[in-house]
Amino acid sequence: MSIKRGVSLYSYQQEQFFKQMDFHDMVREVRENLDTDGIEIIDEATIKGYPFPSESFVFDFRNTMARYDMQAVTMDIYLDVHQFRDHIMTHREAAERLKNDIRLAAKLGFKNVRPLCLVPIDVIEMALPVAEECDVRMGKEIHAPLPIFKANKQQPTTGMAAALDFRMAEQILELAARTGSKHVGLVPDFGVFQHSPCRPGIEYAKRHTKYPEIVDWILENSVNYSPDDIFTAIREKFPQNDINPGMISRLSLHESSADPEDLRQIIPYIVSIHGKFYEMTEIPGHPGEYEDVSIDYETPIRILKECGYEGYINSEYEGQRDQQDMGFENLPDSVEQVRRHHEMLKRLIAK
């Protein structure tokens, strides 16, 4: 047995939006052109009528998966706490919604669900009995700028990272130990192993500011500042700047990258893995071989193999989001990008 390959259909969001591919096309692409069987979906993006789809949809989904002999690996859950518009969900309401999503995932044949990293640990605990009843594992996502373990990183107090709980992995491990449950775990995202800004993100930031030199300054200096201090430094050096704080956070995101060695401590708790990537380019001197130059894949995959991980890495292409402002004729080919990603995965898994 070895690491298995799959695809998050999020990767084909652009083709879905322009009606170039539907769910059936995506599943066929994964089976016939990637020669693999793992499928991950985002609930609202794929499930027609979510959160209460019709029986005809459920049949069509399961029938399509059966036709191509596919595995329903993970269903991603976002948990819209503003769903009712007149109030923000309480934690108990959120738990009821999560329970419904778990039951829906089981009905569609999924083995796992992925609550977003912002879902509180008590909500996950309240939903745990239903996960056990349905035999569906809940894997909370470890997403940049989260490290795997808080002890290794300083948590920012400003910016988007301030809303995240850097003890997330510890909380999940503590819950699993206290309850003895095998139905709670983690979904690491390869974005936590990003070591440098990606080209699409850099060029997007430059297109959306009057002062592209600010972007160059951030790229050259972010390593010298803490996540909090970088905001202050930019305001002082460029008082007239118009750059979005979210862009600043993204350009310095790699400074919060996780230590791949930390994977060794969470292997038994990994539900599945997000194979985040932004741009696959050909490796110089190696025709037909590809890499994402901003994310370390080789080290984490080596560690996963050494530790005996046999679950799925599901490709999650996100680079198209930074290019959708350039016009249809300039959009990247997501299908080709995912194919290149699987060339890399196959090569590294077999290495």
pLDDT for the residue numbered 342? 98
Positions in the chain short of pLDDT 50: 157
Q: What is the DSSP string of 289-340?
A: -EE-TTB--HHHHHHHHHTT--SEEEEEE-GGGGTTTS-GGG---HHHHHHH
The domains found in the chain, sorted by start residue, are: 4-204+255-350 (3.20.20.150)
The 8-class DSSP code of residue 78 comes to -
130/231 Cα distance (integer angstroms): 43
Strand, coil or helix: 156: coil
The 8-class DSSP code of residue 143 comes to -
pLDDT for the residue numbered 151? 56
CA distances from 47 to 44, 104, 293, 312 (A): 6, 10, 34, 22
Over residues 177-219, the pLDDT tens digits come to 999 999 999 999 999 999 999 999 999 999 999 889 999 999 9
> How many Cα neighbours within 13 Å face the side chain of 1?
7
Residues 6+ apart with CB under 8 A from 268: none
Strand, coil or helix: 195: coil
User: What contacts 24+ positions apart, CB below 8 Å, involve 237-241?
Assistant: 238/211, 238/214, 240/211, 241/209, 241/211, 241/214
3-state SS, one letter per residue, for 283-295: CCCCCCCEECCCE
User: What contacts 24+ positions apart, CB below 8 Å, involve 173-178?
Assistant: 173/266, 173/269, 175/121, 175/124, 175/125, 175/128, 176/269
The 8-class DSSP code of residue 270 comes to B
pLDDT for the residue numbered 84? 82
pLDDT for the residue numbered 277? 98
163/326 Cα distance (integer angstroms): 31
Cis omega (within 30 of 0) for bond into 51: yes
Read off the amino acid at residue 337: Q
Over residues 56-110, the pLDDT tens digits come to 999 999 999 999 999 999 999 988 888 888 999 999 999 999 999 999 999 999 9
